[in-house]
Every structure is written in structure tokens, then in C-alpha cells.
Amino acid sequence: MYRLFAFLIIGLLFLVACRGGPPAVPATPAIAPTAVPTAITDQPAAATTGAQVFIPVAPGGEETAPTVAAYPAQPEPTATAAPPTATPEPEYPVYAGPPLNRDEVGVQVYLHRQDVRDLLRHLQALDAGWVKVQVSWKLHEPRPGEYNEELISELDKLVEGANGQGVKVLLSVSKAPEWSRPTTEMDGPPGDYALFEGFMRYLATRYNGQVAAYELWNEPNLQREWNGSPLSAADLVELMRRGATGVRSADPAALIIAAAPATTGINDGVNAIDDRVYFGAMLAAGAAGVVDGFGVHPYGWANPPDSRAGDATQVSSSHNNHPSFFFADTMNDYHDMLVAAGAAGKQLWATEFGWGTFEGIVNEEGAPVSPPAGSEFMADNSEWEQAVYALRAFDMAHDWSWAGPMFLWNLNFTKALGPEFQEVGYSMLRFDESRRPVYRALEHRGE
């Protein structure tokens, strides 16, 4: 009975600890919506072709001529008198960009108590060259020097299976154990950074030659991820320095990826520091000399990947007035900052990105579910647009030599969370395990 109770407690804690994705928007004055078209296809020029139109902004900020993306908008059904059997609508958009090397495509998975063989089958179907797993340090080492056998065994199986089918593994490690922190509220770093060095050495020793890369911490510009001490990019760089030392002492070939700041549009210094401000402070503190690449979370919220904050017209009804809400702005701004800092040789790894939608999400009674509070922007996207935007983002990054692997967030958080959580809106699998158009589009992208 005690062991059963313990397993239930561990499972509950794991679900809470492994929630990720774009941060819930803190309580701030509402963003005034701009006038938008009634549908995403109501755009100027070529609207009658059935193709989706994006209006990119040149680096200097001036609008260029509208360009037509290579991915069709979902066709509207048409009434036909004959024949009685109409042509079925396509189930997913067809990728029309340049061939993607599988090493460009990564997927984040939810691992706890999942069938690893099933996860590997999904990675194979998607032809993903990378898989990312979040490692909650506090759950994996609940007491000093003692490791949770169940969680470590799950990692062992996934790492072994991924290596067996040529999929590279990225472990993203954060959340110090309560015994190592000055406070137990929220999550944060350890009081002694040497403890992080020790845990990273443990992982790198166990997975020597099997884990290709380690991401050191997660969204450290948020209080909820860095509680117990003031938000500080310089402190993060020192923590990463110690973590990198631990990894390289056991596995010098493993790549070290810097923690990705969260894109929030908030800069109050307490709840969050603006991601551009924080990223600049990381570079000023010498991060480029510590890591092999930089993590970035270029979520697009409900904005198409080509669009920019400076565009005259926005298709999203909210979260459209700050560069942090735009995929293209975030990627290009970070790259420009790397160039200015003399670190142009470091790639940007999109360790999380994607577009959320609650279309197709239903509760236990089968009734449609609306996005939870703070995620209303997801109502602007359909499942079709979720797929179109992801395809276009991979297409765009293919042409950026400075972009590393792109990890779509997420495959299967529907296995862990209910429809009241925003994370499930990003999942590639529905609650009944059927495949959303974004899954099908990536699955068939080479055909």
C-alpha cells in the first residue's frame, strides 16, 4: 500500500514538473485587439487562388510586396449537382518547401509511464532526427545522491531506443530539488551551483556517447523558473558554466545549449525580464564562451510565421503588438544580437516552438472545449493553420544557416494533462490518439 501511494504521488509531481510550453500570460493590462479580417484567408492579392498570403517586413522595417506562401489554405467545400460523390477534402496541407534533412526536425515528447516503443514509432513516422525530453532535476534526484529508479529507467529506455533508430537526444535539465534551494516556492536554481555541476556530471556519465546535447535550464527570465533569488542573466551564465563543466568532464563530445528565455512581452524585473533584454545580458556575461549553441523559444502565438510586429495589418486578434509574439521577429532579433556580440558562429536552437489550437479538443463527454483563460488567442487558429504555420517555419529555418534543429512542442502532452490546460492545444495527437493535421503533414512531407 505504501509503495502504491508513493507511485501515485510521484506521478502527480511529475506531471506538474514537466509542464512546459509558452508561459501563461501574467496579469497585465489587456492588449487592445486590432481590426482584423473575419477569416485568415481574407487577405489582399491572390486571395481567390486558395493560397495563403503573408506580408513580410524587410530588415529595415519597410513592407515588401505581399508574397504567397507555398502552403494552401484549407479549401472551402463547394456544392456540386453531379456527381453525387464530391471530391473529399484533403486531410492535411502538403509541404512544398525544400527537402528537410531529418536532423532539422525535432519533437518534444512526454515520457513518464508511456510506451517507449510507441513513442519511437511516432518518431519514425515523423522522420524526426531529434527528440527532446525535459528532465526535472528535483524529481530525478529527490534526495542528495539518491535517484528515482522509475524515472531514470524511463530515460534509459528512450535513450537506448532513440540511439537504436538513429535519433539524437536532447535532454533539457532544470528545476533544482527542494533540498538544494533556499525556498521551496515555485521552481528555481540551487543555492550552491556545484550541485548542478554534480547532477550534470551524473547524467553525462550515465549517457556518455548516447545523449547528443544538453540544454542547461529552462526560461530563466521567469520568476516561476528562477525563484529564490533575483532574476539575473549573469547568475544563469555562472550556473550554465558549472553545468557545462559537469557534462564535459564526462562526455566532451556532447553539445551544450544555453537556456532559452521565455517570450512574454513583459519586463517588470520581478515576474519576468523581456527576453531580448535578458538574452543581451546573457551575451554580455560571456555565455557565448560557455555553450555550443543558444536555445530560443520562438512561439508565434496566433501570428503566422512570416508576419512581423511592425506589419500594418495583423491576422491575430491579440498578442500582436510586441516582437516577442512573432516567430520571425524572435529568430531574426536573436541572430542579430549574436552577430553584434561577435558570436555569429553559434547557432540558434528552437528548443520549443509551435502554434496552439483547441479545434478538435473535446472533453470526456465529447463536447468541444474552449482555450483556457490566458490562452484565448488559440481560438484564432484552426488545426489546418497550426499545420501550415509549422511547415512554413521549418521551411524558413531551412534557409537560415544560423538555425540549428527545430523542436516542435509537443507530441503527446494529451497523455498527461486534461483539456483545461493550454499545453494540450499544442499537441500533435488528440486525446483519442488520432493524428492532427500537423502530424500528418510532417509525416508525409517527403512524398
pLDDT at 36: 31
Q: Is residue 43 part of a domain?
A: no
pLDDT at 77: 54
Other Cβ atoms closer than 10 A to 184: 13
421-435: pLDDT as tens digits: 999 999 999 999 999
Q: Is the dihedral of CA 213, 219, 225, 227 positive or negative?
A: positive
The mean per-residue pLDDT over the stretch 63-77 comes to 48
The mean per-residue pLDDT over the stretch 182-207 comes to 98
Q: Is 117 buried (19+), middle (13-18) or exposed (0-12) by CB count in 10 A?
A: exposed
What is the pLDDT confidence band of residue 72, given thresholds at 50, 70 and 90?
Answer: low
Residue 130 has pLDDT above 50, yes or no: yes
397-414: pLDDT as tens digits: 999 999 999 999 999 999
Residue 40 has pLDDT above 50, yes or no: no
pLDDT at 89: 78
pLDDT at 243: 99
Residue 332 in grid coordinates: 531574426
**Long-range contacts, stretch 109-112, CB < 8 angstroms, 24+ apart:** 109/133, 109/158, 109/410, 109/411, 109/412, 110/18, 110/410, 110/411, 110/412, 110/413, 110/415, 110/416, 111/154, 111/155, 111/158, 112/11, 112/14, 112/15, 112/18, 112/151, 112/154, 112/416
The mean per-residue pLDDT over the stretch 271-287 comes to 98
Q: Is residue 364 part of a domain?
A: yes
Q: Cell 504555420: give the residue.
A: 389
Q: Is residue 56 part of a domain?
A: no
Percent of the chain with pLDDT over 70: 81
Name the DSSP letter for residue 57.
B
> Which residues are paired to 171 by β-bridges?
133, 214
Q: How far is CA 244 from CA 130, 173, 235, in A?
A: 21, 12, 14
Q: What is d(CA 68, CA 73) in angstroms, rounded to the nearest whole number?
A: 11
Residue 78 has pLDDT above 90, yes or no: no
pLDDT at 83: 57
> Is residue 227 within 8 Å of residue 185, measured between CB atoms?
yes
The mean per-residue pLDDT over the stretch 246-275 comes to 98
pLDDT at 21: 66
Q: What is d(CA 263, CA 379) in angstroms, rounded to the nearest whole number?
A: 20
Q: What is d(CA 87, CA 371) in angstroms, rounded to the nearest whole number?
A: 32
> Is residue 352 within 8 Å of residue 21, measured between CB atoms?
yes
Residue 82 has pLDDT above 90, yes or no: no
> Is residue 256 within 8 Å of residue 248, measured between CB atoms?
yes
The mean per-residue pLDDT over the stretch 373-391 comes to 97
Residue 47 has pLDDT above 60, yes or no: no
Domain that holds residue 341: 93-443
pLDDT at 385: 98
Percent of the chain with pLDDT over 90: 79
Residue 281 in grid coordinates: 545580458
Q: Is residue 60 part of a domain?
A: no
Q: What is d(CA 422, CA 373) in angstroms, rounded to the nearest whole number?
A: 9
402: left (phi > 0), else alpha (psi -120 to 50), else beta?
alpha
What is the pLDDT confidence band of residue 446, given thresholds at 50, 70 and 90?
Answer: confident
245-257: pLDDT as tens digits: 999 999 999 999 9
Other Cβ atoms closer than 10 A to 274: 21
- The average confidence (pLDDT) of the chain is 87
Residue 303 in grid coordinates: 501570428
Residue 315 in grid coordinates: 491576422
Residue type, 116: V
Q: What is d(CA 211, CA 443) in angstroms, rounded to the nearest whole number?
A: 24
Instruction: Please enumerate in sequence order all residues whose Cβ is within 8 A of that of 252, keeping only pairs 6 or more positions apart, or say none.
Output: none
What is the pLDDT confidence band of residue 85, given thresholds at 50, 70 and 90?
Answer: low
DSSP one-letter string for 200-255: HHHHHHHTTTT--EEEE-S-TTBGGGSTTS---HHHHHHHHHHHHHHHHHH-TTSE
Q: Is residue 393 part of a domain?
A: yes
pLDDT at 340: 98
Q: Is residue 395 part of a domain?
A: yes
What is the pLDDT confidence band of residue 14, given thresholds at 50, 70 and 90?
Answer: low
Q: Helices marked H in 287-370 — which ranges?
A: 327-340
pLDDT at 427: 98
Q: Is residue 72 part of a domain?
A: no
Residue type, 94: V
pLDDT at 88: 74
The mean per-residue pLDDT over the stretch 383-393 comes to 98
Residue 222 has pLDDT above 70, yes or no: yes
Residue 46 has pLDDT above 80, yes or no: no
158-175: pLDDT as tens digits: 999 999 999 999 999 999
Strands (E), 43-104: 51-54, 67-72
- Identify the residue with better confidence: 62 or 22: 22
CATH number at residue 237: 3.20.20.80
Closest Cα to residue 162, out of 113, 215, 205, 102? Answer: 102
The mean per-residue pLDDT over the stretch 324-343 comes to 98
Instruction: Please enumerate in sequence order all residues whose Cβ is within 8 A of that of 229, keeping only pairs 6 or more positions apart, or say none.
Output: 182, 188, 189, 235
pLDDT at 54: 28
pLDDT at 339: 98
The mean per-residue pLDDT over the stretch 141-157 comes to 98
Q: How far is CA 59 from CA 11, 56, 308, 345, 349, in A?
A: 47, 10, 10, 20, 21
Q: Give the distance between the most distant pair of CA atoms in the chain.
A: 74
The mean per-residue pLDDT over the stretch 64-92 comes to 58
pTM of the model: 0.85
How many domains is the chain built from? 1
Q: What is d(CA 354, CA 426) in angstroms, rounded to the nearest whole number?
A: 7
188-200: pLDDT as tens digits: 999 999 999 999 9
- Identify the residue with better confidence: 68 or 340: 340
Q: Is residue 370 part of a domain?
A: yes
The mean per-residue pLDDT over the stretch 220-231 comes to 98
The mean per-residue pLDDT over the stretch 342-347 comes to 98
Closest Cα to residue 159, out of 129, 196, 116? Answer: 116
